Chains A and B, each alone.
Chain A
Amino acid sequence: GEDVEQSLFLSVREGDSSVINCTYTDSSSTYLYWYKQEPGAGLQLLTYIFSNMDMKQDQRLTVLLNKKDKHLSLRIADTQTGDSAIYFCAGVYNFNKFYFGSGTKLNVKP
């Protein structure tokens, strides 16, 4: 199957910026997605980027895509304690199957 890798943990202080990184092997995905999962809940769509874009900004969120290196990142500006969660990047293969990274647990310290 497709391989998506993420670092498992990230710890930042409140007010700092967080950068969550993702690398993937399949470059055919038309869109790449970021999801957030809070404890005991499903996944919430945060943002996504079309594969022919390099960057997308959505309020505090900035997505950067480097297709050459197959690298995707999510930057959260002014990180708040409510941003503490697990973040998953995801792509699509076989037309409609989503594949997810292992998730990065973000811990925001007050």
Chain B
Amino acid sequence: GAVVSQHPSRVICKSGTSVKIECRSLDFQATTMFWYRQFPKQSLMLMATSNEGSKATYEQGVEKDKFLINHASLTLSTLTVTSAHPEDSSFYICSASKGTGGRSPLHFGNGTRLTVT
């Protein structure tokens, strides 16, 4: 199998605080992990590509200083939403692939519902 674990599943935080979301590949090593954001009734928006041992690659329009990504090992990537604001409230989903080039499917975590009050 290919299991991706994401934690926490839900988090509520006050405006101005930071929140860390963890994404782990439990039974495989993932050189690359991907972070998506999903708005209500909309598709997934790729935020960034997380590369083990190097800096993340952010998509256009995504603030890298606001969404800090760290890929500390082949099984762990973290997304930190810094100085969160209500507009950051969303559903964040991580994913990982065993291989590259699209020949291996993405396996997704169960997502994190972030609510900023």
Contacts and interface: CB of A to CB of B under 8 A. Distances in A.
Q: Indicate, yes or no, whether A interacts with B.
A: yes
Contact of A30 (B32, B103, B113): B103
Contact of B43 (A45, A95, A96, A101): A101
A96 B97 contact: yes
B105 interface: yes
Contacts of B106: 33, 43, 45, 90, 98
B105 A48 contact: yes
B75 interface: no
Interface string A45-82: 10010000000000000000000000000000000000
Interface of B is mostly: strand
A40 to B, nearest CB: 7
B100 to A, nearest CB: 5
- Interface size band for B: 20 to 34
Interface string B21-65: 000000000001010000000111010010000000000000000
B90 interface: no
Given A42-B108, A48-B105, A95-B100, A100 B113 contact: no
A95 B101 contact: yes
Contact of A42 (B42, B100, B101, B111): B111
Contacts of A40: 111, 113
A89 to B, nearest CB: 10
Nearest to B110: A42
B42 A96 contact: no
Interface in B89-114: 93, 95, 97, 100-103, 105-111, 113
Interface of A: 29-31, 33, 35, 40-45, 48, 88, 90-92, 95-103
Interface of B: 4, 6, 32, 34, 42-44, 46, 49, 93, 95, 97, 100-103, 105-111, 113
